[in-house]
Amino acid sequence: MKLSEVAYSHVKNMLIEGRVSANEWLPIDGIAAELGSSRQPVLEAMKRLVLEGFVEIMPQVGCRVRNPDPQEIDDFYRLFAAGEALIAELCAARAEPADILSLRLISSQIATLNTLGEDAQAIGENYRVLNRRLHAEMRRVSRSKPLADVVESLGDRSDFYVALTNRSIFALNVEQAHREHEEIITAIADGDTSGAREAMERHIFATERRVLDLPEQVKPRGAASDRATAKRATHAAKG
């Protein structure tokens, strides 16, 4: 594997695992030393992560973790929901019995997380790993590599947004997320393409609500725009 690929994977894992915070500077020399490489592979990795929306490069200063605003997050989850919904729809149309069993096995592991007596951080990390595995399996079952490649990248960015909250989103919502997964899997098993699509959309937008810390009854789509509109209306009223 090329050194730039190694550096890319290393830094991206730091980002999606929550080992760095928004606006935190990423030490190029330190990362290079840790990987036993020169600065160049790390800089190449950073440029790639800039394009994917994870970091930003400040000329003559360095690289730091991005701090997305609510509107950017809202726009992203609209895109992510569309991609994952299509994955679910294709799964419902193409899944075989062995595929359904595989999905149910991973989901059953998620169901046990709150019974293991672990702390919130351990539960959250175990959920993150199993959730990624479940969604990766759905991408495989969709049997659409071009779509799967795109949605996988979006899934990484969703985990990044979750990590930036510095809240135990995964741990606090394991049971609800499990119910959402089961609804998706049931629709896939029934060959219900529209049901699978709709269940997946609800699941992704529920994740957005948790990232933006919105009440469960609030629809996140357009939430940032709605807040901006309300703010402008308030200012107008005061004027």
**Angle in degrees, CA 63, 148, 161, rounded to 5:** 35
pLDDT band at 239 (very low <50, low <70, confident <90, very high): very low
pLDDT above 80: residue 234: no
Residue 65 bridge partners (DSSP):
55
SS (H, E, C) 25-82: EECHHHHHHHHCCCHHHHHHHHHHHHHCCCEEEECCCEEEECCCCHHHHHHHHHHHHH
Q: Which one, of 176, 166, 164, lies nearest residue 205 by Cα?
A: 176
pLDDT band at 220 (very low <50, low <70, confident <90, very high): low
Cβ–Cβ under 8 Å, residues 161 and 68: yes
145-169 pLDDT, tens per residue? 999 999 999 999 999 999 999 988 8
